[in-house]
Every structure is written in C-alpha cells, then in structure tokens.
Amino acid sequence: MCGRYGFSVKDIRKVYQRFEIVNELADYAPRYNIAPGQMNPVITKNSPKRIQRMFWGLIPYWAKDRSVSFHTINARGEEIDKKPSFKKAFQSQRCLIPATGFFEWKKNIDPHVPYYIKLKNEAMFAFAGLYDKWVDPISKKELLSYTIITTGANDILKPIHPRMPVVLKREDEETWIEPDFVTSEKLLSLLKSYSPSEMEIYPVSREINKTRLDNETLINPVEKPPEQKSLL
C-alpha cells in the first residue's frame, strides 16, 4: 500500500516543465510528509494538462458521505476495472500524482521501522491514480478526490511490504492520462512494479509517524534502525 509520500520539489517551475503543465498552482510549498485526508497536487488531462489540488482518499460520485475515503486512499490495480468504487474512474478519470518519494513501514518488528523509497536517477516521478468528483448532499459543494493505485512489491520492497504504489515509467505517463483511444488491456499493462535496480531505499526517523511534522529532516537516512524485537 501507500499511506504516506512526499512531493518536495522546491521550484514549482520545474514541475510545470517536467509534466508540461499549462496552468499554475497557487500557494505551492514543498511537502515531505503527505498524509491521507489532505489536499495535494494532481495532474489530469482535460485538454491540455492541468495541475490542481485534490483530496487524498477517493470519494465515489455515488457515495452518501466522505467516510468511504478512509478505505480508498489506495486502489489495487488488479481490481480497478471491476470494483464499483473505481470502475467508472478507471474508464475516464485517470490521473498522475506527482511525487519525489514514498514511505513504507517494516511491521514484523517492534517498533515498526519506516523506510523512504525514491528513484535513483529521477528527481520526481508520478504515481498512477484515479480521481472522482463528489457533491456534498448538504452543502452542494463539489470535492475532487483521488486514490493511488498499488501493485505487487518488487524485490527491493518485498522484505518491507508485499505491495507498492504504481510508479509509472516516464514514457507511459501520457498514455495513462490519455482520455480516448486507449484500451483497458493497454492501461492495465502499465500497472506493474517499478524496476528495483532503479530505486533506492533506506530507513528514516520514526518522526515521520507524526503527521503534524513536515520538514526535510524526515527524509534523511538514519545511521541504523532503532533496537528491534521480532514479532514473528
């Protein structure tokens, strides 16, 4: 799964250039500890490419309230063309979630050890995602929300967790958000684990567990994990 990630590019103009964005994002600031339930940058192709903030935790258009979002921060790639929460979004509401790295916890030891995962040769990348538009039945306000798609973990992540977010290859990003003329088979073929040889992973401080903290020290490697007790 993916329950925390970072998008820490300091110069937003580099993001616009990297993803060929045509609009601007107001009040941008680097983020090192993005958590579910927050509003974060998402890229869609509504001819042309646009970047906007959405709520992390997909709320299907048919949902009665927002509580479903606690269960939809991730979507299993094997189910997105069938599961009611994601089927419609998969057909026409795919998106890119820009990131610079993500976190995962090794949980078969106590205390759990957080790890930071990033690409070796890319400063930023994009998760494959889905989004939907929900209208609050009381306030009538619209809310755009998103989910990050996951797949089976690659060899570098397997010792930590059995699943990982889908990091798209740069050449596949355009295909993923293309609104027309792409078959389901082609789209599903993109949802695979990223090459482990192109990834870097290292343990970080357990301060990342505190969602109120959001600074660059959270992605610094620690010299060694804290003392651990096996839970197996």
Which residues are catalytically annotated?
A: 2, 104
C-alpha–C-alpha distance, residues 161 and 141, integer Å: 38
Residue of 69, 181, 183 whose CA lies nearest to 130: 69
Burial-class residue 191 by CB neighbours within 10 Å (0-12, 13-18, 19+): buried
Q: According to the 3-state scheme, what is the secondary structure of the chain?
A: CCCCEEECCCCHHHHHHHHCCCCCCCCCCCEEEECCCCEEEEEEECCCEEEEEEEECCCCCCCCCHHHHHHCCEEECCCCCCCCCCHHHHHHCEEEEEECEEEEEECCEECCEEEEEEECCCCCEEEEEEEEEEECCCCCCEEEEEEEEEEECCCCCCCCCCEEECECCHHHHHHHHCCCCCCHHHHHHCCCCCCHHHEEEEEECHHHHCCCCCCHHHHCECCCCCCCEECC
